[in-house]
Amino acid sequence: MTSAVNSLSNPSYAGGRAGFLAWAVAVLAAAGYALFSLQPLMNGYEVIILLLAAAGTLWLGHAWPSFRGLTLAVAVLTLVGLQQYGDQLANADTRFLLVYVLASQSAIMWMSALFILATPTYFAALLARSPFTGQVASGLTWSAVAMGLTGLLVRWRETYLVGADIGYIPISNLYEVFVLFCLITALIYLFYERRFQTRALGGFAMLVISAAVGFLLWYSHSRGAHVIEPLVPALQSYWMKIHVPANFIGYGCFSLAAMIGVAALLRYRAAPAGRLAQLLPEPALLEEFMYRAIALGFAFFTLATILGSLWAAEAWGGYWSWDPKETWALIVWLNYAAWLHMRMTKGWRGPAMAWWAIVGLFVTLFAFLGVNMFLSGLHSYGEL
């Protein structure tokens, strides 16, 4: 599977004008089928979300040829999984492909294992200076993303097999959003891996993803969080479909920036002739990587905050209520706004900015998990 996804993600395979046009036609056909077959179940806002998702997919595929290969792999795996299910959720316990590969829980377990394997493989590639080992690490990461996306898409179908009145997009609870976090963070890293033409930072990026996988496995085992349950009323809204992904693009970027900050601190402290100085990229590249990740995350986190305010106005009658979750979201926003301000207007560089990015991750982590664990409010449905 690793080699298959790695070959699909190779620009020479999925690139070229003819390849893009064929892929674009397939994306438009899939979007058209979804629009016309599911329109009776969709309101006007959800139709707009579908059209924007299709446009975003086309833009990503045009800008990033590797993304086309990923979508093809995920489409094939998902369709096979849906065919195996048919209309019977009970098939998950009897059909080989579902039991071991393509049921949502199985696919997410594959995702988890592949991400954990990718972490030491990236570090081995760095220490051994082995391009081949680096390619294996990237292949493992692409494969993990493919399995995780397949798991979420199949789970979406599973929610409807549990009950037509229960079905929902699977980004509604901590189990599902931790899967989403792993996938988004990995995709952002893979994009920058190609942009900066280096795999030297893969191990650092995978550390935070592996930590999320560890939490995901603990949470699923101890709380049975993978079990599909009806949504609470506050989450039965089209706003969830745009607010949550935008939020987690921000979280993923901030986490990635923090791990690049860790690499940057190691690079700063390495003696000129030391091993780390030879293995890690130059400080200028690390700082640029960190800056771009925070800038992208800040843009999406700002969008998510605006969308959250609109959702709050519809659900609770007010755009802002100083709920603990909202207050800490504002703290996160102000933290990264200040980081970007000091970088762009004052020209700050060096270890101080790396430390700031690392501290920012802990601020973000508290806003995401700490509020749920220690505080209560309108977002109490997200408690651990």
In a domain, 91, yes or no: no
| Number of domains observed in the structure of the chain | 1
| pLDDT given at position 9 | 46
Q: What is the mean pLDDT of residues 344-368?
A: 94
Amino acid 10: pLDDT? 52
pTM, two decimals, is: 0.92
- The verdict on residue 42 lying in a domain is no
pLDDT band at 234 (very low <50, low <70, confident <90, very high): confident
- Triad 60, 63, 67: Cα angle to 5°: 50
Q: Which two tokens stand for residue 341?
A: 């301000």
Q: How many residues belong to the chain?
A: 384
User: Tell me, what's the pLDDT at 284?
Assistant: 94
The pLDDT of residue 129 is above 50? yes
Cα–Cα distance measured from residue 173 to residue 36, given in angstroms and rounded to the nearest whole number: 29
Q: Which two tokens stand for residue 107?
A: 């696919």
Q: Is 80 inside a domain boundary? A: no
Q: Write the pLDDT tens digit of every residue in 177-227.
A: 999 999 999 999 999 999 999 999 999 999 999 999 999 999 888 888 889
What's the CA gap between 224 and 275, in Å, rounded?
45
Residue 60 has pLDDT above 90, yes or no: yes
Give start and end residues of each alpha helix (H) in the chain: 2-8, 11-14, 17-38, 44-63, 65-85, 96-97, 104-128, 131-162, 174-196, 202-223, 240-269, 275-279, 283-316, 324-345, 351-365, 371-374
Full residue range of the structural domain in which residue 149 is found = 103-382
Closest CA to 213 of 73, 114, 98: 114
pLDDT digits (tens, 9 = 90+) for 276-297: 777 899 999 999 999 999 999 9
Q: Is the pLDDT of residue 12 over 90?
A: no
SS3 349: coil
> Which residue did the predictor score with more confidence, 166 or 110?
110
Neighbours of 195 (CB within 10 A): 12
Q: Which two tokens stand for residue 293?
A: 């990740």
* Residue 5 or residue 225, greater confidence: 225
- Domain assignment of residue 8, yes or no: no
Tokens standing for 334?
């102000």
* Start-to-end CA span in the chain (Å): 34
Determine the pLDDT at residue 135: 97
Residue pLDDT, tens place only, 136-162: 999 999 999 999 999 999 999 999 999
Question: What integer pLDDT is reported at residue 14 of this predicted model?
Answer: 45
Cβ neighbours of residue 381 closer than 8 Å, sequence gap 6 or more: 232, 234, 235
Is 281 part of a structural domain of the chain? yes
Q: Does 4 reside within a domain?
A: no
Higher pLDDT, 316 or 71: 71
How high is the mean pLDDT of the chain? 89
Cβ atoms of 139 and 2 within 8 Å: the answer is yes
Q: Dump pLDDT digits (tens) for 85-111.
A: 998 888 888 999 999 999 999 999 999
Are 53 and 32 within 8 A, CB to CB?
A: no
Kindly list the distances between the CA atom of residue 299 and the CA atoms of 7, 76, 131, 294, in Å, as whole numbers in the listed order. 32, 33, 34, 8
Span 246-269, mean pLDDT? Answer: 95
Residue 254 located in a structural domain: yes
* pLDDT category of residue 269 using cuts at 50, 70 and 90: confident
Cβ burial 8-24 (10 Å sphere, 16+ → b, else e):
bbbeebbeeeebbeebb
Distance between CA atoms of residues 43 and 60, nearest Å: 26
- Residue 43 counted as domain residue: no
Instruction: Scan for tokens 């200028």, then name that residue.
Output: 284
